[in-house]
Amino acid sequence: MVCIAVYKNTRLRRTTSLYIIALAVSDLMSAVFVMPFALGVVITGEWVYGPVMCFFHSFFGGIVVYVSTVTMGLTAFDRYMRICKSEQQYKKIFSPWKSRAWMACAWFFIACYSAVPKLAGLLDYAFVPGYALCAPAPLNQTGKVVHLAIILCFFLLTPLLTTIFSYIKVAKMIRQHNAAMSSTIHSGATGSSITVQELKLSKSLFVVVFAFMICWIPFWVIIVVKRFHVVEKMPRNIELLSSFFIYLSNTINPFIYVGMNPIFKSEFKKMFCCERRFFNRINPQHYIMNQVPQQQRDRHAQQRFS
């Protein structure tokens, strides 16, 4: 739905929409390639799909996890450059083609990291009952340390610190903007370097990032405390709950866009109206009956049974 809305409405085709589309695609991949298998594991209590599907499940699961965190960091940095820097500085880093290049490089690097070590025989994939999913399983202790270091550095700490730094700066700039606007209103002056639409977009993306962080923090905390042996064994219910929060983060983004962005809300309404009109065309009897007043339908029913 998010991708269709961006495709249909030209006002949504901006540089930042690229990151929204990337999140939507990763959410769709999770819904198609990750969630169904996890649901099957929860129902059956074991992995019944074989080693090949375990590899693909772990491959797509890794892409979803890593792409989401990296995209959040890029989104936050994009907002920082757009709100806090000049338009010339912003376009030097986030022009349309450069933004596509950033995203393409991120996806390519993540896909390679998820597939090449397995194909090169450097690690394997194994079913993890606690999380109801397949995950990378390094073959030795050195591999575990290197794997954990790469994940923490590139896919957790760097995006997280970038996000925190960027939105602190953005929040400070928005406060200064609001104060300046208030003073210009009282003095009768006009003019602002930040548009209302950019402010609304920044706020909606902040809500998306905040919801994402809330959903993903338990998962990363459990991974860190287990890998560093702070806790030797974590209750399975807690591990499953952390996986549930990850899947929840993949489903709430469209609702946030609807609630925070009126353009997305308008496009989603148009989609539902088109679906209702299509349903009425293929079910004309249902459409006609819906147009008949309730009193007439009740009277018709009484005559039929009398």
**136 - beta bridge partners?**
125
Task: Per residue of the chain (306 residues), give pLDDT as tens.
Answer: 666 666 566 565 666 677 778 888 888 888 888 888 888 888 887 888 888 898 888 889 888 888 888 888 888 898 888 888 888 888 888 888 888 898 899 999 998 888 888 777 778 888 888 788 888 887 777 877 888 888 888 888 898 899 889 888 888 888 887 777 776 655 544 445 567 767 777 777 777 777 777 887 888 788 777 777 677 777 778 878 878 887 887 777 666 665 556 666 666 677 666 555 544 555 555 444 454 444 554 555 455 444
Instruction: Write out the DSSP string of 228-270.
Output: TTSSS---HHHHHHHHHHHHHHHHHHHHHHHHH-HHHHHHHHH
Evaluate whether 201 touches 16 at the Cβ level (below 8 Å). yes
pTM of the model: 0.74
| Residue 199, number of CB atoms within 10 A of its CB | 17
Q: What is the pLDDT of residue 305?
A: 45
For residue 35, what are the β-bridge partners?
none
Where are the alpha helices (H) located in 85-157, listed in sequence order?
Answer: 87-94, 96-119, 141-152
- What is the structure's pLDDT at 108? 92
**Other Cβ atoms closer than 10 A to 249:** 21
Q: Are 280 and 287 in contact (CB under 8 A)?
A: yes
- d(CA 221, CA 199) in angstroms, rounded, equals 32
Amino acid at 172: K
